[in-house]
Structure 1
Amino acid sequence: MTEVLHRSSSKKAHVAVLSFPFGSHTSSLLKFTSRLAVAAPSVTFSFYSTGKANSSAFGSNTPQNIKPYDVADGLPVGYQHSANTVETAIELFLKATPKNFEEALEVATSDIGMKITCVLSHAFIWFAADFAEKLGVPWVPIWSAGLCSLSAHYHTDLIRHTIAAVSHVGIVGREDEALGFIPGMSALRIGDLPEGILAGDMNSSFSCMLHRTGQMLPRGAAVGINSFPDLEPVILEDLRSKLQNCLTVGPFTLLTPPPSGSDETGCLPWLDHHQSHSVAYISCGTVAVPKPAELAAIAEALEEKGIPFLWSLEKKQQLKLPSGFIERMGEKSAKMVTWAPQSRVLQHPAVGVYVTHAGWNSVSESITYGVPMMCRPSFGDQKLNARNVSEVWGIGIRLEEFTREALVNAFDLILSKDEGTKIRNKVSALGEKAKNAMGPKGSSTQNLNKLIEIIQKTN
């Protein structure tokens, strides 16, 4: 765990923290804010997200100097959440901004009885820069993903100009062209870019939000990033030349110790009965669930190779697995759950490979705990992350889709062959660098101290 110096201030500081209330963004930002709150106990943090996101993220371990405030989610009465309506929910939420945050900020200022002295926000909440400017205080955006995706969104205008200037007929057929004109991204491809930069609906609310985020970042007094220097040093150097106080303060998974105590899912006791590096842990998130044919392919590959597995999958998705699959594998080889304590699972020595959608939290956790990956990306930054995992860092395999043959070969390579041992050694070495970055004298710890100095300053 990091050791951040406690600092005092002659005037009390009030930091307003604005979250993006979808996916794991609120819990990730709250984890980061909690680390700051523990290190700066004299600072009051008002934390803003929707009621649903706040109720899910806040718990008994949240520091007392963080106070939650709910913002309107923009949803009509009776709206039913489902995986198919996430985009609609985001659209409605963005339409409710920035007014919903403005109203909540006024309530908090009156309730706490202190003027806001700093605005810290998830980078997606780009209009926080305007709030901060109006208040005459610093704005500190936090990017909860990696440097590569941050660079892609910062350079959106350059990418569009460079690619579109060559051809006005779109990018079909050009997906494998390298992004060599952006520092540190020569191994990445046009087709790896998140939707909304060159492909997809570039005029959607979400795409416009990301575009504005990239444009607004230079206004930040500092930018905190969920990464560490050894992962993407060239990209980091480039962004440091363009942004004020570009600070790597990750990986966030090491900001606080993982929860201890009993494991209600039974995952850890089950893993205890397996040999080192023998188990496949499978979890592809809750939004981009693999199609039934791909779920079947995973099951078929596991059964063919006789690989013991721990699979986190929603109950309704479990029903789509091949008939009799779980029974044939048996309790010793098959562990199905609807949720797993992921950080504790990845730390367990029995886990030999992580089958993942390549979301940044999952990738950074896998790196931190030295577990090779099999990545099947779907959207957002996942394709960039998966390309880095396979082509740049050499710590896993990227699959365009789950097929039985591709999975059998990938499992065989990582779990049985010498190349798999080399991959494991590479990811373990990166994991040690991540831990060193968060150590007492590490770069992330020093950057956290610098960030604390910035947020504690009062006029």
Structure 2
Amino acid sequence: MSAQQKKGHVVAFAFPFGSHPTPLLHLVQRLAAAAPGVNFSYFNTAESNQKVLPTADLKSYDNIKAYDVEDGLPEGYVFSGNPLERIELFVKSTPDNFRRRLEEVVEETGLKASCLLTDAFLWFSVDMAAELGIPWVAFWTAGPAPISLHMYTDVIHSRLGQNAQNQDQTLDFLPGLSAIHASDLPHELLHLDQPFSRLLYDMSLALPRATAVVLNSFAGIDPDVETDLKSKLKRSSTHAAASVAYISFGTMLTPPPPELLALAEALEEKQIPYLWSFRDDSKRQLLQPLFRKTGSVGKVVEWAPQTPNPGASFGRGFRDALRWNSVVESITGGVPMICRRFRRPDDKQAACAGRVADWGGRGGRRFSKSGMMTALDVVMSVGEGKKMRENIGRLRECASRAVAENGSSTENFKSLVDIVTSSSHQE
């Protein structure tokens, strides 16, 4: 069946930083498999597409095509070193870069967009969808607690003040978020004077206008927050996504050399088997002597699959910034985490910190050798470590029920397919 013979054209806009592009592409692939009679277009920057597409196997889908959009970088631009600079330049180029590219694709293919499925950060999509007279489906790549925080930005400012001076104040005035302290809140939520901060705030105002909001989570992980979100959004749905320590810090940030050294020394002294995904060559050289000493019990690789076999006995830990994907992997793998929090542009650490505390995890701001040895003793122990795994096990059962034949995620996905293909049904 040719593209023109297919009914409908779902257009997906990716936010090209961190882990955001990959889960959106995975969702597009699942939808394309469920709706083979619908065309899907995936819009992302060229640099991000070069990283994401090689592992996506899009050749297996005759109804998905990927396109590059401008990244907002002037020719010959020299970066100042500000980690937010690349993001801010991209944000300034939106929505014109997406609008122009979409117009070109429609002209090239003759396929008008029937639905916009975009990263929630790209809030301007709600206006584009309204202009085109089509649905906007927003995809939130994390869980329910962080999106709830953003939607309560005005309330938080009113109760805590813009700078949240009382760092010990908890968010006990928000449904399901009483475990979070003011000190856990991301800078971008409290200070709205930067481009990225404004983007997140504008997103929080736009989400109630979405036809549907999809969360990279499963029902039951945050019941009070989920119930509250349903009252604020038109329609929301959740989409699922001990003997060995798995160590990884993601794709954007790693701890400074002294902390990496402390971590490596703790592993050496404890002689705990480990698999360390380490991409930073300059920092890896610093630790090479220690890696040689622990070569009999550990292995260092440049890349490892994001999700190991759930049946394997992995002590999942040392993930960057308590990232949501890592938390979900911890739950579905039934293993505890040792975390070091960072401040990142799309910081979801506050919500993750609250939820980790609920199942017995511990989040820290710095690695030290003594602290790491203590943490390793805890998560590997048959006492407190066993209790942590039991707590996580209960959430793992929720996840399993959600993706069962008649589970909430399964039913929500069916509803999502209906939403993104509804315009094509009317043609």
Match of 1:171 among 164, 170, 178: 164
Q: Which segment drifts farther, 369-378 or 85-94? A: 85-94
Alignment RMSD: 1.9
Q: Does the Cα contact within 8 Å between 2:6 and 2:38 map onto a contact in 1?
A: no
Cα distance in 2 between the residues matched to 1:387 and 1:298: 24
Cα distance in 2 between the residues matched to 1:408 and 1:319: 23
Q: Tell me, what secondary structure is at the counterpart of 1:196?
A: helix
Matched residue type, 1:309: Y
Q: Say whether 1:191 aligns with 2:158.
A: no
* Matched positions, count: 412
Matched residue type, 1:437: A
Aligned counterpart, 2:57: 61
**Residues 63-107 of structure 1: per-residue CA shift (max 9 Å, x gap):** 22111121110112245789x554111111111111101101101
Cα distance in 1 between the residues matched to 2:78 and 2:45: 15
Match of 2:332 among 368, 378, 388: 368
Q: Say whether 1:326 aligns with 2:291.
A: yes
Aligned counterpart, 2:227: 237
Match of 1:455 among 412, 420, 423: 420
Match of 1:118 among 110, 115, 118: 115
Q: Which consecutive unaligned segments of at least 5 residues does structure 1 have?
A: 1-9, 253-276
Cα distance in 2 between the residues matched to 1:385 and 1:443: 22
- The equivalences for 1:18-417 within 5 A come to 18-59=13-54, 61-62=57-58, 63-79=61-77, 84=81, 86-164=83-161, 170-172=163-165, 174-198=166-190, 201-250=191-240, 252=241, 277-313=242-278, 314-321=280-287, 324-329=289-294, 331-344=295-308, 347=310, 349-357=312-320, 358-379=322-343, 380-389=347-356, 391-394=357-360, 396-417=361-382
Q: Does the Cα contact within 8 Å between 1:13 and 1:44 map onto a contact in 2?
A: yes
Q: CA deviation at 1:291?
A: 1.2
Q: Does the Cα contact within 8 Å between 2:88 and 2:195 map onto a contact in 1?
A: yes
Q: CA deviation at 1:383?
A: 3.4
Q: CA deviation at 1:11?
A: 8.4
**Residues 277-331 of structure 1: per-residue CA shift (max 9 Å, x gap):** 321111112322101111111112112212121111122221232x6312222x2
Matched residue type, 1:226: N
Cα distance in 2 between the residues matched to 1:286 and 1:33: 22
Cα distance in 2 between the residues matched to 1:212 and 1:34: 28
Cα distance in 1 between the residues matched to 2:169 and 2:358: 16
Q: Say whether 1:17 aligns with 2:12.
A: yes
* Residues 101, 378 of structure 1: alpha-carbon distance in 2 compared, 3 angstrom cutoff: same
Matched residue type, 2:354: R
Cα distance in 2 between the residues matched to 1:70 and 1:237: 38
Matched residue type, 1:312: S
* Residues 350, 457 of structure 1: alpha-carbon distance in 2 compared, 3 angstrom cutoff: closer
Q: Which consecutive unaligned segments of at least 5 residues does structure 2 have?
A: none
* Residues 354, 89 of structure 1: alpha-carbon distance in 2 compared, 3 angstrom cutoff: same
Q: CA deviation at 1:339?
A: 1.2
Cα distance in 2 between the residues matched to 1:161 and 1:64: 51
Q: CA deviation at 1:397?
A: 2.0
Cα distance in 2 between the residues matched to 1:148 and 1:81: 34
Q: Does the Cα contact within 8 Å between 2:11 and 2:42 map onto a contact in 1?
A: yes
TM-score, normalised with respect to structure 1 = 0.86
Q: Which segment drifts farther, 56-65 or 445-454? A: 56-65
Matched residue type, 2:349: Q
Matched residue type, 1:183: P
TM-score, normalised with respect to structure 2 = 0.92
Q: Does the Cα contact within 8 Å between 1:43 and 1:456 map onto a contact in 2?
A: yes
Q: Does the Cα contact within 8 Å between 1:353 and 1:415 map onto a contact in 2?
A: no
Q: CA deviation at 1:240?
A: 0.3
* Residues 317, 37 of structure 1: alpha-carbon distance in 2 compared, 3 angstrom cutoff: same
Q: Does the Cα contact within 8 Å between 2:359 and 2:388 map onto a contact in 1?
A: no
Q: Does the Cα contact within 8 Å between 1:28 and 1:144 map onto a contact in 2?
A: yes
